[in-house]
Amino acid sequence: MTPLIPIAIGLATLLVGVLILRTYGARYRVGRLLAAARVVSVSEARTLAHGPERYVRVDGRIDAEEEFEDDAHQPLVFRRTRLQLLRDGDWVTFEDDRQRVRFQVRDGLEGIVVDDVAFGDGLIVIPRESIGTAADLPDRIPTGTPLTTSVRLRVEQISSVEHAIVVGVPGLDEAGEPRMSAGLGRPLILTTLDRDEAMRILVSGERRRSRIAVLCFATGAVLMAIGLILSVSGALA
């Protein structure tokens, strides 16, 4: 067998895996950035805020001077409540409400403010969800929406008793205080989960697709290894 055949098939299989991951859209990019960001201390992040922009990760505990409670009396610093319609297989937000207070991520005595206004797809927590139909909210859905359309209530929140991973660009706010925010064309990411669990949340509900991608990568790597072995064997023969 010519070694070019398994190498070519392996490359094609790897490409299929990449294309499958890209179907996750922004979630794929968030996962990639979360995995690749350089880890610095909170103290280093505060120093970086005064210099050229860098996209980095800090770890620490959530801290705030003020808090608010959820229905279970859990102390929160941020809560995002979204109503979404199911359209063409995707959940589209039509109502987005946020409750928040100023908070930091602290490591020992050092802390850095988190710019929660910049949260988009980069907030990775275990959400609370409830699914119904547009008929359940006839006075709040967009005009012209069929009453049989699926509607999802999605609640994401950050508690002041949790630890967090924050990935973003250290900079200065309007008052000159160091903060973590979006920048360099990249999102602000915050997760209260460990990295592996955060990755699972990013692909939640899409396990079949993610398994196919993993299979493509594994198969592609094996085929390319076979091709290289055949190539080396042929050269030594």
State the total domains in the chain.
1
Q: State the average pLDDT over residues 7-15.
A: 78
135: Cβ–Cβ under 8 A, 6 or more apart, which residues? 147, 148
The Cα-based distances of 58 to 162, 163, 176, 222 in angstroms read 14, 11, 20, 36
Domain that holds residue 152: 38-194
104 in Cβ contact with 171 (< 8 Å): no
pTM over 0.85: no
Q: What are phi and psi of 206, to 5 degrees?
A: -130, 35
Neighbouring CB atoms inside 10 A of 46's CB total 20
- Classify residue 101: in a domain, yes or no: yes
Q: Residue 168 corresponds to which tokens in the numbers above? A: 């973003």
Q: Is residue 111 pLDDT above 80, yes or no?
A: yes
Return the sign of the alpha-carbon dihedral for residues 217, 189, 70, 149.
negative
Rounded Cα–Cα distance for residues 170 and 53 (Å)? 7
pLDDT of residue 222: 79
236: Cβ–Cβ under 8 A, 6 or more apart, which residues? none
Rounded Cα–Cα distance for residues 94 and 43 (Å)? 39
pLDDT of residue 80: 94
- Classify residue 25: in a domain, yes or no: no
Q: Is residue 1 pLDDT above 70, yes or no?
A: no
pLDDT per position as a tens digit, 44-66: 999 999 999 999 999 999 999 99
Q: Is residue 99 pLDDT above 70, yes or no?
A: yes
pLDDT per position as a tens digit, 65-94: 999 998 888 999 999 999 999 988 788 999
Q: Is residue 178 pLDDT above 60, yes or no?
A: yes
Q: How far apart are the first and last CA of the chain?
A: 14
Q: Is residue 136 pLDDT above 90, yes or no?
A: yes
Q: How far is C-alpha 168 from the geometric centre of its chain's CA atoms? A: 12
Q: How far is C-alpha 40 from the geometric centre of its chain's CA atoms? A: 19
β pairing state of 128-133 and 150-159: antiparallel
pLDDT of residue 235: 67
Q: State the average pLDDT over residues 111-118.
A: 94
Percentage, residues of the chain above pLDDT 90: 55
Q: State the average pLDDT over residues 114-119.
A: 92
180: Cβ–Cβ under 8 A, 6 or more apart, which residues? 45, 58, 105, 112, 113, 114, 115, 166, 168, 169, 170, 188
Q: What is the dihedral of CA 167, 169, 170, 175, to 10 degrees?
A: -120
- Classify residue 20: in a domain, yes or no: no
